[in-house]
């Protein structure tokens, strides 16, 4: 059977002929094109070309059709025009100009997945879960994600006003941001206390695995590592391979993640190298609602393998894999091609990682009882030789007030370290074998 679809044009007639052979095999039946829907598409296309109030050229109209097909699939599949394709490439290298937010679509609006550390968006207090209602005076409702990103991007120093809706608040609020060059420092490290290290990963870029290894080597070259906090809060993800590299630094071989899709090439298994870079030192992973994609791969792998305690709040739940398929030097399709699963077979899609210990972010102030009397309050008391006690207490209180989740992670690390030392001091008892 033959179906001829004509796209009428004043100068030319473009003929597309679709040939269907009968009888059809099972495979051919499955791949059969829906003829009625194709007729409808051709009719709508022709009606727009001939009757729309403004003249739109064929290439633009077909580009709109491609965008529509991808937008209707899921929030992460999209058609990348020249600018969007370049933006994606620069984002994974760690530097671009804009507001510094990872965004997605939800119910026709742009939803903030995570602000980037040190960016205008982060400094203005924007949070994961915030909904962008307007960009300037333009409503975001019905706007494509690419169009919204194009508006938010702009020259350094230029301003833009965002109208924000925040869950739990009755009224939206406006915030004015100044665009800046966003330099995403993928990894940074510091000491929380002597022996207790901290590594923050803001985004998974091409070199993140190598950068985390360097941070670990730097910390361990300075002093003995008793425990480590790996902070993945507000990390929107990034490159899958980088997440495998990072998780692999803390595992002694074995599975990290696997993916499953319709194409054979999308069924992949990723394993860790046989090396735990910190040799079993207690590890805490911090996550929150802004932890997505590659962050969830790392947290899920370390949780499933019993290598780390995951603390914080439930993660974002982006358990899908996107493949960028270049169509030309300037255009590409970003298509969701697979779902990923943790070593125990958990799909994170729309569920997220549930922490082992839930700690909500809160403003906490240390309470001191003014009526409490100790030896130090007695007149003529003897001083303690350890002059750092009061300073250490102030550091603890500052951390509690500034970041209660990190404070709780450090507290648990200390407990794990103490328990580990006690285990090592207990000598195994070997009973003499009996004689028969």
Task: Output the 3-class SS for 66-107.
Answer: HHHHHHCCCCCCEEECHHHHHHHHHHHHCEEEECCEEEEEEC
Handedness of CA 361, 100, 114, 357 (dihedral sign): negative
DSSP 350-378: TT-PPPSEE-----------TT---GGGS
Task: Output the 3-class SS for 150-197.
Answer: HHHCCCCCCEEEEEEECCCCCCCEEEEEECEEEECCCEEEEEEECCEE
Q: Which of 77, 255, 293, 320 is the catalytic position?
A: 293
Q: Which of 111, 226, 318, 334 is the catalytic position?
A: 318
Break the chain down into helix, strand, coil percent, rounded to 5: 30, 30, 40
What is the DSSP code (8-state) at residue 275? -
Q: How many residues does the chain have?
A: 436
Q: Residue 368: is it exposed, middle or buried by C-beta count within 10 angstroms (0-12/13-18/19+)? A: exposed
How many CB atoms sit inside 10 A of residue 310's CB? 24
Please name the helix (run of DSSP H) or strand (run of DSSP E) that holds residue 333, with its range, or none: strand 332-341
Q: Which of 243, 245, 304, 315 is the catalytic position?
A: 304
Going by C-alpha positions, the residue among 14, 142, 134 that lies closest to residue 67 is: 142
Are 142 and 136 spatial neighbours (Cβ–Cβ below 8 Å)? no
3-state SS assignment for residue 229 = strand
Are 148 and 132 spatial neighbours (Cβ–Cβ below 8 Å)? yes
Is 224 a known active-site residue?
Answer: no
Are 182 and 96 spatial neighbours (Cβ–Cβ below 8 Å)? yes
Is 304 a known active-site residue?
Answer: yes
Could you list the active site residues? 293, 304, 318
């Amino acid at each position: 059977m033959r179906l001829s679809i004509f796209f009428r044009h004043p100068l030319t007639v473009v003929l597309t002929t679709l040939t269907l052979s009968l009888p059809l095999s099972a495979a051919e039946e499955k791949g059969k094109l829906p003829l009625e829907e194709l007729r409808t598409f051709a009719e709508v296309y022709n009606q727009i070309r001939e009757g729309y109030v403004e003249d739109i050229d064929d290439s633009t109209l077909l580009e709109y059709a491609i965008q529509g097909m991808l937008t209707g699939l899921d929030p992460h599949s999209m058609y990348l025009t020249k600018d969007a394709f370049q933006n994606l490439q620069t984002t994974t290298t760690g530097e671009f100009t804009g507001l510094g937010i990872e965004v997605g679509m939800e119910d026709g609006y742009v939803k903030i997945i995570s602000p980037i550390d040190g960016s205008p968006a982060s400094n203005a207090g924007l949070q994961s879960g915030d909904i962008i209602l307007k960009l300037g005076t333009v409503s975001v409702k019905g706007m494509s994600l690419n169009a919204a990103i194009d508006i938010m991007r702009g020259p350094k120093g230029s301003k833009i006003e965002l109208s924000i809706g925040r869950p739990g608040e009755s009224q939206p609020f406006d915030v004015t941001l100044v665009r800046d060059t966003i330099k995403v420092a993928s990894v940074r490290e510091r000491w929380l206390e002597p022996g207790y290290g901290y590594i923050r990963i803001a985004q998974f870029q091409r070199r993140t695995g190598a950068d985390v290894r360097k941070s670990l080597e730097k910390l361990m070259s300075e002093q003995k590592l008793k425990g480590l906090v790996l902070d993945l809060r507000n990390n929107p993800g990034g490159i899958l391979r980088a997440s495998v590299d990072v998780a692999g630094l803390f595992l002694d071989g074995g599975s990290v993640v696997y993916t499953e899709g319709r194409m054979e090439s999308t069924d992949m298994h990723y394993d860790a190298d046989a090396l735990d870079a910190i040799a079993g030192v207690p590890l805490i992973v911090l996550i929150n609602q802004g932890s997505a994609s590659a962050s969830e791969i790392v947290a899920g792998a370390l949780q499933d393998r019993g290598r780390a305690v995951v603390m914080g709040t439930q993660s974002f739940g982006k358990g899908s894999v996107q493949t960028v398929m270049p169509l030309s030097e300037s255009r590409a399709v970003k298509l969701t091609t697979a779902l990923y699963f943790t070593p125990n077979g958990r799909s994170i899609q729309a569920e997220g990682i549930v922490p082992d210990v839930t700690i909500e972010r809160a403003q906490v102030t240390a309470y001191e009882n003014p009526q409490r009397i100790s030896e130090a309050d007695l007149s003529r008391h003897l001083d303690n030789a350890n002059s750092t006690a009061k300073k250490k207490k102030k550091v603890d209180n500052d951390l509690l007030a500034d970041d209660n989740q990190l404070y709780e992670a450090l507290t648990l690390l200390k407990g794990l370290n103490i328990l580990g030392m006690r285990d090592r001091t207990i000598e195994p008892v070997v009973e003499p074998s009996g004689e028969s």
